[in-house]
Structure 1
Amino acid sequence: MSDTLTIPAKDGSGRFAAYVAMPERTPAPAIVAIQEIFGVNAGMRRICDDLAAQGYIAWAPDLFWRIQPGIDLTDQTEAEWQQAFDLFNKFDADKGIEDIAATIAAARRHPKSNGRVGAVGYCLGGLLAYLTAARTDVDASVGYYGVGIHERLGEKDAIGRPLLLHIAEEDGFVDKDAQKQMHDALDPHPLVTLHDYPGVDHAFARPNGTTRNENAAKLADQRTIDFFAEHLR
């Protein structure tokens, strides 16, 4: 079962929508699914539905609402890519983290929640999952092929809850030097785990994506499932 709920922004500037998928049994822990540059599209809704099938209340907030609400793009056409990059360039990551924090608070308050909340993000959302671990009270976070994490490593010391990061070794948006910086800074952190996936490109786990790799996606997703089972159950 799924629904669309609205969440008040922390700065009082308005309300934004979130796709919410419910599990069969409640109370249950929640997971905030953090979008790519394509908005809350069919792939993000599928991720939420899969999380609900695993027993989580899954929330996918519309983080582009301050620019244009209801963005729903794919990676299948050049025009959609151009629109997605334009949205990315206009996006304020700090406001995005505020909206994620508001979603976490809403998820904790939900009458069918058990009070525990995780976050999982992809691409842009992978960076935001890292920042969510550093800036919010989320219980556990997972980032897939986050772009720009190496530029935010100064925030690593604020991470106080478990964080899992999946790294595509042939990521066209995160080069080998950036990956090395991430490992050098984060491998010693007692709450952070990094997994590398050889031979795969960015977005290897995107549902129906052009660079999806089934073997790597299944391995990463199983690690994510196990991670949340350990920290949210």
Structure 2
Amino acid sequence: MGSMVQITAKDGGTFEAYVARPRGGSGPALVLIQEIFGVNHLMRYQADCFAAKGFTVVVPDLFWRQEPGIMLTDQSEADWQRAFELFQGFDVDKGVDDIAQTVAYARGESSTGKVGAIGWCLGGRLAFLTAARTDIDASVSYYGVMLDEHLGEAGNISGKVLVHVAAKDDFVPPEAQAKIKDGLSGNPQVDLHIYEGCNHAFARPGGGNFVQDAALKADERTLAFLNETIA
């Protein structure tokens, strides 16, 4: 079980973040970036799992400007509707600013002085922007939405980036995927993997699109990537 901390926003105010620590007390730091469901039970479970692997994990509440403490699921129509409302009202630029503040906090807690980020869905988009706009050492994007809109920032990436793309993603159409592949293929900072036959959220445990083999492969690549870049 983790604990809650307060982080100061760049433009004033504070927001909460869930923190999970490894048994030894500290490790390389990870910032986990939420889907559209907030810092829910799954995000906290993911944080606890990475802490069990030796990382100090911080999960910021990025919807705090709209409604603090959002904890939705993907199991009801009402939660999906609320999640999309929050997604549509979300300020991406301020969200990246909040992640930058979280990275600064996490760096002070890191046993190696290095910080990585992992994001899923909306968080996958934000993970990519975090790589382009902050001093993060490594960043992982799982089926990030709207990445094709941010390819012009790829040249600003100084750390390493791992991108997981679902070939049959309902939220990232083929033309967008083609742009992403073309835009990132020549970037030495970026390693991109395609998961054939998989839909959006193929790595979300308990989700309708979960594909165990693909999820395990993506997670294995992610862990190896983090051990190479921030451990």
The RMSD of aligned alpha carbons is: 0.9
- CA distance in structure 2 between the partners assigned to 1:117 and 1:51 by the alignment: 13
Moved more, 101-110 or 87-96: 101-110
- What is the one-letter code of the residue matched to 2:157? I
- The equivalent residue for 2:203 is 205
Kindly indicate whether residue 2 of structure 2 is the aligned counterpart of residue 2 of structure 1.
Answer: yes
TM-fit CA distance, 1:139: 0.5
- What is the one-letter code of the residue matched to 1:200? C
Kindly indicate whether residue 144 of structure 2 is the aligned counterpart of residue 154 of structure 1.
Answer: no
Question: How is 1:85-96 mapped onto 2 (pairs within 5 angstroms)?
Answer: 85-96=84-95
Unaligned runs of 5+ in 1: none
Q: Is the 8 A contact 2:7 2:102 kept in 1?
A: yes
Q: Is the 8 A contact 1:42 1:72 kept in 2?
A: yes
Q: Is the 8 A contact 1:107 1:113 kept in 2?
A: no
Q: Give the match's secondary structure for 2:168.
A: coil
- What is the one-letter code of the residue matched to 1:132? T
- What is the one-letter code of the residue matched to 1:6? Q
- The equivalent residue for 2:215 is 217
- CA distance in structure 1 between the partners assigned to 2:169 and 2:217 by the alignment: 17
Q: Give the match's secondary structure for 1:160.
A: coil
- CA distance in structure 2 between the partners assigned to 1:150 and 1:211 by the alignment: 23
TM-fit CA distance, 1:46: 1.0
Q: Is the 8 A contact 1:8 1:15 kept in 2?
A: yes
- The equivalent residue for 1:121 is 119
Q: Is the 8 A contact 1:43 1:208 kept in 2?
A: no
Q: Give the match's secondary structure for 2:66.
A: coil
Kindly indicate whether residue 227 of structure 2 is the aligned counterpart of residue 229 of structure 1.
Answer: yes
Runs of 4 or more, structure 1, over 2 Å off, are none
- What is the one-letter code of the residue matched to 1:146? G
Kindly indicate whether residue 21 of structure 2 is the aligned counterpart of residue 32 of structure 1.
Answer: no
- CA distance in structure 2 between the partners assigned to 1:106 and 1:230 by the alignment: 22
Q: Give the match's secondary structure for 1:190.
A: coil
Q: Give the match's secondary structure for 1:70.
A: coil
- The equivalent residue for 2:161 is 163
- The equivalent residue for 2:65 is 66
